[in-house]
Structure 1
Amino acid sequence: MSTPRVAVTGIGVMAPGGVGRQAFWDMMTAGRTATRRITFFDPSDFRCQVAAEIDFDPAKMGLTPQEVRRMDRAAQLAVLATREAVQDSGLALADLNPTRTAVTVGNAVGCTMGLETEYTVVSDGGRKWIVDHEYAVPEMYDYFAPSSLAREVAWATGAEGPASVVSSGCTSGIDALGYAANLIREGTADIVIAGSTDAPISPITVACFDAIRATSTFNDTPESACRPFDGNRRGLILGEGAAMFVLESAESARRRGAPIYCEIAGYATRANGFHMTGLKPDGREMAEAIRLSMDQARLNPEDIHYVNAHGSGTKQNDRHETAAVKASLGQHAYKTPMSSIKSMVGHSLGAIGSIEVAACALAVKHNVVPPTANLTTRDPECDLDYVPMIAREHRTDAALSVGSGFGGFQSAILVVDPEAVPA
């Protein structure tokens, strides 16, 4: 019995500057940035005062008043992206076997905004060390339990199969999709609603990243504050967002006549066991994840047409990643377009991996590679083809997306055009 091929038949995206899949792709290919001065709170006392926020009205997008009241912002983003993905897939949820429908949601920092808001209330603005629980909302427990994110997606889709949250820091979005693909391959589920979400733009998160000096200080030019691979880069910019996918076997998709964006052909993850936030310059563990993902997909370096970089914009990450791509792709690395969409939508922590996979799926569909915005000054240590400023038409039969997370997590996932990359 052959292993099922895993098809992506629906995509939903909630991203800064691009609410919805098409708006997101239009923004990517236009090279527009959505980074701006933080508006969720007064950032004046912070080292970094810039983030990539999403402008959306949950009620106008179809969430009921009860859903808006109940759900943390991260859950709202996940549910809205899920609704778009399911509609895009053409699935009739009522016709599905609920016990064969699974949910996998990646997330790094849980319901940060809900927790911070409620702590402010129960502590009377931080003035009371012993908080008064009677002021807490009934949903407070949900904010403490990230599993509530998977539950909300399961409720929204009627899924009664395996439901899980994958939390591996900044690689959560890739890892959730890799895990979901395996559920299809092993026959545990027929349909998996999978992706990731995070809404971390809050004072506590900004303060944490300020403390380790990981964020950019280009506060006077927020639209160009994130500069991956640029010689003048100063760090990352926080973002928020969600991307959700409908995964099913390629056979199932063909049987119901569903268009296929791409197939998830390979996935691997490794950890470096080195440092909480630091990276070894050789990129060995990321290179190993890339090689293993290619082995699973039965692809050679020459088959890779695009690399969607982690590209956070920190000095060490960009050098580490450049070394990893060289080590895994060899000389072909110099011929392979590579870009970082974090330059446009920021770093949404656990969500960004899935958002980047959405960009890869659309790159495969349209044969267009999104650019690295704000890349104007060459860094001699970053000497690959990072597609500066302007999107590029380019045959993209196989796209590789990589992620690097605090704690040493290194993940890689490969999506391919099923017509161009046969079994």
Structure 2
Amino acid sequence: MTAVVTGIGVVAPGGIGREPFWDLLVGGRTATRAITLFDAKDFRSRIAAECDFDPADHGLSPREIRRMDRAAQFAVVSAREAVEDSGRRIADVPPHRIGVSIGSAVGCTMALEREYVVLSDKGREWHIDHEYAVPHLYGHMVPSTLAVEVAWQAGAEGPVALISDGCTSGIDAIAHGARMITEGRADVVLAGATDAPLSPITSACFDAIRATSPRNDDAEHASRPFDADRDGFVLGEGAAVLVLEHKDAAQARGARIYGEVLGFAARSNAFHMTGLKPDGREMAEAIDAALAEARRDPRAVDYVNAHGSGTKQNDRHETAAFKRSLGHHAYRVPVSSIKSMVGHSLGAIGAIEVAACALALDRQVVPPTANLRTRDPECDLDYVPSTARDHRVDTVLSVASGFGGFQSAMVLGRGDG
């Protein structure tokens, strides 16, 4: 593959913007806290990783703020930062050669729930009066609105797509955008993902299956991937958008290249909506296929960005997958989960993690797994506990796992490789 990353934009808990986000990661700081976006007192899990985000402070007009769901706002702000970072004058690119690929697991959740509460009079009315609805309700109902908003901002008239594969949406959307480049369907693609799921309905759903951490009295340390005392993941929100271009074109204009998308593969376990087999076979198969496309030996992997959700089932599943695919090298390569710091933003997190991988390649630093204190005997790899590590990083493997049995893997390499 010849698609490279030349721009990065991020809206994340604890860090709005690419550099604050990276500073949070390398500092090993966590952005998990008690929920403030709604009254969560009646929920089992009352903690989340929220973004301290004011859309007006980031250049959105009153009309845009009124029209857009919070997830759309995140995506647009991230896209603007990515384009600026790339140094590419989008206005000089023919509109039909600009593409967009945005992932999202739950679409415009916050706007939809807000409107339902109004239209149903807090659930008291079964028959609703549509005249109380905002004029943009249809846009909130259609997830593709998120990709459309980014396309409008960029003036993109080429291929535009919304990818929704649950928690693998972000990495899958970036892979789709890279394919647009390698297949010659676009010269520039804005690819990434966004989700703003922090609402009562989302919390209720995860409470029901007891997937989220109830460590409400210690929110800062609640997200504990690979730790023996972990008790579920911590919800998050955010977005990341990358500018993808042809490698030759980026080099010709002297662009800063963060990294190259070398390979990608996805698999499904066809097994269970939320369950994972302990042997990690499906994720291992995705890793193997991604490495094959990248033409990289497993021993070439210098860093693994784990899904690392902080559930026992997932952590053990992917640890087994790494051993299955990387062999003895799995014990030598550093593995970490940034969800320990920024939570699990569902479909968005895969794109946020790829952004972190691109920065790791650029800065030659491996982010840590925060809150990792007690060793789980079944998770016995090098998970980079607590402190970031200076480390030569030429090849990165990033993986994602999602409800429905989705398993995705991406291999990235240094842009000068």
Could you tell me the TM-score, scaled by structure 2's length?
0.99
Partner of 1:320: 317
The equivalent position to 1:41 in structure 2, one of 30, 33, 38, is 38
Mapped partners of 2:53, 2:108: distance in 1: 18
**Which of residues 398, 401, 406 in structure 2 aligns to 1:404?**
401
Q: After the TM superposition, which parts of structure 1 deviate over 6 Å for at least 4 consecutive aligned residues?
A: none
Q: CA deviation at 1:57?
A: 1.1
- Pick one of 214, 222, 228 that aligns with 2:219: 222
- 2:93 matched to 1:96? yes
Separation of aligned partners in 1, 2:175 and 2:251: 22
- Of residues 354, 370, 375 in structure 1, which corresponds to 2:372? 375
Q: Give, in whole Å, the separation in 2 of the partners of 1:81 and 1:278.
A: 33
Aligned to 1:305: 302
Structure 1 residue 6 corresponds to structure 2 residue 34: no
The aligned counterpart of 2:176 is 179
Pairs aligned (count): 417
SS at match of 2:57: coil
The answer to whether structure 1 residue 267 and structure 2 residue 264 are counterparts is yes
The root-mean-square deviation of aligned C-alpha atoms, in Å, is 0.6
Aligned-residue offset at 1:130: 1.1
Please give the residue correspondences for 1:112-191 in structure 2 after superposition, counting only pairs within 5 Å.
112-191=109-188
Are 2:60 and 1:68 aligned? no
CA distance in 1, matches of 2:234, 2:54: 23
Q: Secondary structure at the match of 1:59?
A: helix
**Structure 2: gaps spanning 5 or more residues:** none
Q: Please report how far the alpha carbon of residue 385 of structure 1 lies from its aligned counterpart in structure 2 after TM superposition.
A: 0.3
Q: Deviation digits for residues 106-130 of structure 1, max 9, x if unmatched?
A: 0000100000000011011111111
The DSSP-based 3-state class of the residue aligned with 1:247 is strand
Displacement after TM superposition at 1:56 (Å)? 1.4
Match of 1:233 in 2: 230
Q: When the two structures are superposed, what TM-score results if normalisation uses the length of structure 1?
A: 0.98
1:22 aligns with 2:12: no
Q: How does 1:243-254 map to 2 (within 5 A)?
A: 243-254=240-251
One-letter amino acid matched to 1:176 = A
Q: Matched residues in 2 for 1:11 and 1:418: separation?
A: 14
Q: Could you say which residue in structure 2 is the equivalent of 1:56?
A: 53
Indicate the SS of the match to 1:399: strand
- CA distance in structure 1 between the partners assigned to 2:334 and 2:347 by the alignment: 25
Note the 1:337-416 alignment, pairs <5 A: 337-416=334-413
Gaps of 5+ in 1: none
Identity of aligned residues (%): 66
> Does 1:202 find its partner at 2:199?
yes
Q: Distance in 2 between matches of 1:271 and 1:117?
A: 34
1:143 is matched by which residue type in structure 2? H
Shift of 1:39: 0.3
